[in-house]
Amino acid sequence: MTKFDKLEFSIDQSIVYPKHGVGNITGIQTQEISGMSIELYVIRFEKERMTLRVPTDKAVGVGMRCISNKDTMEKAFSTLKGKARIKRTMWSRRAQEYETKINSGSVIFLAEVVRDLHRSGDQSEQSYSERQIYEAAISRLAREVAAVEDICEKEALTKLEVVLTPEIAA
The domain that holds 61 is classified in CATH as 2.40.10.170
Is 85 inside any structural domain? yes
Q: Note whether 147 and 165 are same-domain residues.
A: yes
Q: Note whether 132 and 116 are same-domain residues.
A: yes
The CATH number of the domain where 156 resides is what? 1.20.58.1290
Q: Note whether 56 and 79 are same-domain residues.
A: no
First to last CA, the chain: 43
Number of residues that make up the chain: 170
Q: Which residue range is the domain that position 119 belongs to?
A: 70-169
Is 9 inside any structural domain? no
pLDDT at 88: 85
Is 6 inside any structural domain? no
Is 2 inside any structural domain? no
pLDDT at 4: 42
Q: Note whether 135 and 147 are same-domain residues.
A: yes
Is 7 inside any structural domain? no
**Complete DSSP assignment for the chain:** --TT------TT-EEEETTTEEEEEEEEEEEEETTEEEEEEEEEETTTTEEEEEEGGGTTTTT-EEPP-HHHHHHHHHHHHSPP---SS-HHHHHHHHHHHHTT--HHHHHHHHHHH---TTSPPPPHHHHHHHHHHHHHHHHHHHHHHT--HHHHHHHHHHHH-HHHH-
Average pLDDT of the chain, as a whole number: 88
Q: Note whether 22 and 75 are same-domain residues.
A: no
Q: Note whether 114 and 161 are same-domain residues.
A: yes
On the question of pLDDT at 2 being above 50, the answer is no
129-163 pLDDT, tens per residue? 999 999 999 999 999 999 999 999 999 999 999 99
Is 159 inside any structural domain? yes
Q: Note whether 23 and 39 are same-domain residues.
A: yes
pLDDT at 87: 81
Q: How many domains, in total, are found in the chain?
A: 2
On the question of pLDDT at 17 being above 80, the answer is yes
Is 8 inside any structural domain? no
Is 59 inside any structural domain? yes
pLDDT at 48: 83
